[in-house]
Amino acid sequence: MTHDTPKTMGQQFGRRSWAEPWKIKMVERLRMTTREERQRALSEAGFNTFLLRSDDVYIDLLTDSGTNAMSDEQWAGMMLGDEAYAGSRNFYHLEEALRKYYGYKYVVPTHQGRGAEHLISQVAIKAGQYVPGNMYFTTTRLHQELAGGIFVDVIVDHAHDPDSLHPFKGNIDVGKLEALIKRESAAQIAYVSLAGTVNMAGGQPVSMANVKELRALCDKHAIKLYLDATRMVENAFFIQEREEGYAKKPIADILKEFCGYTDGAWMSAKKDNLVNIGGWLAVNDWTLFEELRNLVVVYEGLHTYGGLAGRDMEAMAIGIAESVEDAHIRSRIGQVRYLGELLTDWGIPIVQPVGGHAIFLNAKAFYPQLKQIEFPAQTLAAELYLDSGIRSMERGIASAGRDAKTGDHYYPKLELTRLTIPRRVYTQAHMDVVAESVKAIFDMRGTTRGLKMIYEPKYLRFFQARFERLGA
Ligand code: P61
């Protein structure tokens, strides 16, 4: 970036336009720790940021999942919980909000996203069928595999290149999908699994043109198209910003149009929907809904609460309406970009363009001296915590796990450390602290040693794995 390049989104639009459309009414105090305390905490956690106690963390960028700040109206909604076992009025509020903003006909609440993934995978996948998708997500792929499915990545190649500036790096490569259908036959495809935005690719969006094309292809072959809508509101922002014909359309309209091309969706409401817990599954087909509604009572709870309290559903219904406001989403993504622009300015390698929910540090470029099996992204997360008490998340070889058949590690092209920004929680000064800390560890990157995994759980190993420093 040159000296004259506008830095903030506000400057790009001629004014500072991403400032928050809210003010702070209540605060949660944070504990500042010493380097010695952090050293102790990190070694007790086996160099895994998932195993740190949150009391030992200063700025928590582990995830944007369930870490949102709710509004006063959502908190007021929590007092209106109808905790009836069956037919809670809050369920009907949720159903109404989902029909209005996402447009699906039938709704099954679940305790969180993976509860919904479990149900749709069990119902829609027959053992041995393929599930093509735009890059894997850990829990999504695991549920598809547990149901007997075989996940196939059909995302565009740009998604695997951290430096590609393609505006829609989340798109499915329709050619790859067609080739799979041709090779295996349409009957062998359980459904197309489309996520907007794509988490593991760096929060990268899918274009409206792409979903339209997918709809046409799926119709041609009578294949279902299901959406992971977890960060679909953020995806709508990128369509508004980058796709011709959408600049003047409200976010709410873009969201509904996009969902309209799909047969149903699952959701981790802990992200876009601005709550601390919750999820849902929504479909347009009555027969499928009947099956899902039946299965939810086995694993989650009755079909009008799905593992949630009435108050949680009320907060979600209100959060859904708040989440589609243009000013909200502009400031949410504006804050993520502010951090991204500082880091880019300082020459720090990050996934470009900056996505919706996080900055992804390119750990391979950060630590070129480390082999992938020395866990560069896990190392980076550990160094950042040691420097300043900032907690981030590994999204590289540890997260990718092993091939179920061969038992070998997957070696993903992207070896990333995610700085995930919770919604409506941290200030611009916090973002400055984060940028400065990343810069500090970048400046001493040459002397950093990697890690060795010394404990590896069977499922989703990154959550509980333990590491130690190499050559220690
Ligand atoms: C996250 F380290 N995401 O990004 P649940 N789909 C998508 C998600 O991002 C997602 C779920 C489904 C998390 C939490 C998390 O490997 C991990 O409500 C696109 O978390 O069950 C969750 O939704 C699942 C962190 C999940 C992880 C899995 O931080």
Q: What is the pLDDT of residue 1?
A: 43
195 CB under 6 A from ligand 1? yes
Query: Cα 403 to chain center, whole Å?
Result: 22
pLDDT-derived band at 94, boundaries 50, 70, 90? very high
Distance 345 CA to ligand 1 centre (A): 30
Ligand 1 atom nearest the C-alpha of 279 is: 18
Cis ω before 422 (30° cut-off from 0): no
* Interatomic CA distance for residues 330 and 200, integer angstroms: 22
Catalytic residue list contains 467: no
Distance 24 CA to ligand 1 centre (A): 27
pLDDT-derived band at 3, boundaries 50, 70, 90? very low
389 CB under 6 A from ligand 1? no
Catalytic residue list contains 191: no
In this structure, are residues 292 and 283 in contact, taking their beta carbons and an 8 Å threshold?
yes
Q: Is the pLDDT confidence value at 331 over 50?
A: yes
pLDDT (tens digit per residue) in 115-148: 999 999 999 999 999 999 999 999 999 999 999 9
| Token code pair at residue 107 | 């709704």
171 CB under 6 A from ligand 1? no
Q: Specify the residue with its C-alpha closest to ligand 1, atom 5.
A: 113
Catalytic residue list contains 395: yes
Catalytic residue list contains 85: yes
Nearest in space to 411 (alpha carbons), one of 448, 382, 442, 376 = 376
Higher pLDDT pick, 19 / 6: 19
Can you name the residues that pair with 4 across neighbouring β-strands? none
Q: What is the pLDDT of residue 13?
A: 61
pLDDT-derived band at 2, boundaries 50, 70, 90? very low
Ligand 1 atom nearest the C-alpha of 269 is: 18
pLDDT-derived band at 221, boundaries 50, 70, 90? very high
Ligand 1 atom nearest the C-alpha of 268 is: 18
Q: What is the pLDDT of residue 18?
A: 84
Element (H, E) at 469: strand 466-469
Distance 143 CA to ligand 1 centre (A): 12
pLDDT (tens digit per residue) in 266-306: 999 999 999 999 999 999 999 999 999 999 999 999 999 99
Q: What is the pLDDT of residue 405?
A: 87
Distance 271 CA to ligand 1 centre (A): 9
pLDDT (mean) for 424-441: 96
Q: What is the pLDDT of residue 4?
A: 55
Sign, Cα dihedral of 406, 408, 412, 413: negative
pLDDT (mean) for 351-374: 97
199 CB under 6 A from ligand 1? yes
Q: Select which of 33, 63, 138, 197 is catalytic.
A: 138
Mean of the per-residue pLDDT values of the chain: 96
Catalytic residue list contains 271: yes
Catalytic residue list contains 375: no
Can you name the residues that pair with 265 across neighbouring β-strands? 227, 282
| Its pTM surpasses 0.85 | yes
Q: What is the pLDDT of residue 367?
A: 98
Q: What is the pLDDT of residue 404?
A: 83
